[in-house]
Copies of this chain bind each other. A is one copy, B any other.
Amino acid sequence: MRPVDTLISARWVVPVVPRGAVLADHSVAVEGGRIAAVLPTALARTQFAPVRHVELPQHVLAPGLINAHAHAAMNLLRGAGDDLPLARWLNERIWPLERALVSERFVYDGTRLAAAEMLRAGITCCNDMYFFPEQAARAFAELGMRCVVGIIALEFPSAYAADADDYLRKGLAARDALRGEPLVGFSLAPHAPYTVADATLARVAMLAEELDVPVHTHVHETAAEVEESVRLHGVRPLERLDRLGLVSERLLAVHAVHLLPEEIARLAQRGASVAHCPASNLKLASGFAPTAALLGQGVKVAFGTDGAASNNRLDLFEEMRLAALLAKGAANDASALPAWQALECATMHAAGALGLSDQIGSIEVGKNADLIAVDLSGPETQPCPDVVSQLVYCAGREHVSGVWVAGDRVVADRRIMRNERQVDYEPIAASALYWQARVHAAGRASPLRVT
């Protein structure tokens, strides 16, 4: 009998790799935070002597979901500017509030709240972009959540940094400071072609090679930014990024709503990835991303929640389902983006986009034990003729009963855990209330224009 830390025995295991597999009555053995074996439960009982044996008789065990695009700290701005056109949303609500409020504490508190929401929703890894990435990383790590935080770069000053060089310097210092954190990774995150100058983008391209990290940036979210680029630079933003050496397998292009057929082909040829954010694109009326066409050309499409100010949920079950539904509507084809593919996007495609496809994204021996248990026994998920369809089309975050990151159980029966002990939610709730009052006061100081 081989000793292991944890044995998880589930009614079904959906490993995502190999594609389409649904393993009935299988177990996953976890040792040292990694997956040691995937095998029939009957066999596992004879081979493993686990310290902890978790039995999930009505559940599916799947890889943790990966949020490919978030501004986690913006959870504190949730509901602060709904139902507004994009320009008013940015100019009259989000930017003034950020100018008034963003600080180390804001980012730490907001990210901790967001991590609590995401973990309970079965998200085990978040690709984040915001000011003060060191504080974001510390909040994620504290709650035991895996993250890739962006070394953000912008040309304009903020409470965090003065100019593009300052952003990059501080981001690189954060990376150095957090080198020992096994759950924390970094990307280079130039905010967007319309907020970052050529010289900075060229430097980002060089740094990305040097540090061997992905490049996380907003691309073609709105028709207006594409037009503006043509006016200012003579080319569309993707062409500009390409000339600066940024369209490669390192690129994670967020949104990618407004794409010409040749741009889709270029993303495919270069091996770039897309972070599709369907709820945010609808809420801000940005347009309909050509998801089915991107997938058809072989582009890795991952899903992102975007920030809570434009969603307002950090819920990848919601995004998986919405992406699958919206792809059908937008492509006028009910067979577009089927359930198995939506699950693949939210796991393996995202892992690949982040350069982590050998670490996370599937239940395979040697990978990190980033796992979620989803209870399919309730009236919302019965009958259950097809486990993967049920996961994508019926289940919600509320059915996530257990979550593990690197083998540590971080959610048990909807409660947030760390090292086998329940995490106190009170300080998180209290900080949300504190910031709600601060947001309210700041909103009064710079009210919406009367139109």
Residues of A whose CB lies within 8 Å of any CB of B are 75-76, 78-80, 82-86, 89, 113, 116-117, 120-121, 279, 281-285, 287-288, 311-313, 315, 322, 325-326, 328-329, 331-336, 338-339, 377-380, 382-386, 389-390, 393-394, 396-398, 425, 428-429, 432-433, 435-436, 439-440, 443
Contact = CB atoms under 8 A, between A and B. Distances in A.
B82 A313 contact: no
Nearest to A394: B312
A327 B94 CA distance: 22
Contacts of A85: 333-335
Contacts of A382: 78, 113, 429, 432-433, 436
A84 B313 CA distance: 29
A389 B79 contact: yes
A312 B317 CA distance: 13
A85 B331 CA distance: 12
Contact of A398 (B331, B384, B398, B440): B398
13 contacts: A83-B338, A83-B339, A85-B334, A86-B334, A120-B379, A283-B325, A285-B328, A311-B393, A312-B393, A313-B396, A315-B396, A383-B433, A385-B436
Nearest to A331: B285
Contacts of A117: 379-380
Given A85-B333, A325-B279, A379-B428, A385 B439 contact: yes
Given A85-B335, A279-B325, 14 more contacts: A76-B383, A80-B386, A82-B386, A84-B334, A113-B382, A282-B326, A285-B332, A285-B336, A288-B329, A312-B394, A379-B425, A379-B428, A379-B432, A380-B397
> A89, A378, A383 — which one has the most chain B CB atoms within 10 A of its CB?
A383
Contacts of A386: 79-80, 82
A397 B398 contact: yes
Contacts of A379: 113, 116-117, 120, 425, 428-429, 432
Contacts of A283: 325, 328, 334, 393
A379 B411 CA distance: 13
A379 to B, nearest CB: 4
Top 7 nearest A-B pairs (CB, nearest first) are A398-B398, A383-B436, A83-B338, A282-B325, A382-B432, A116-B379, A282-B329
A89 B333 CA distance: 12
Nearest to A434: B383
Contact of A393 (B313, B332, B338, B378): B313
Nearest to A438: B383
A285 B86 contact: no
Contacts of A79: 383-386, 389-390, 393-394
Given A82-B339, A379-B428, A386-B82, A285 B113 contact: no
A384 to B, nearest CB: 7
A377 B113 CA distance: 12
B325 A429 contact: no
A313 B380 contact: yes
A385 B336 CA distance: 38
A417 to B, nearest CB: 14
A167 B432 CA distance: 57
Contact of A396 (B287, B334, B335, B396): B396
Contacts of A432: 379, 382-383
Contacts of A440: 385
> A285, A336, A382 — which one has the most chain B CB atoms within 10 A of its CB?
A382
Contacts of A429: 377, 379, 382
A331 to B, nearest CB: 7
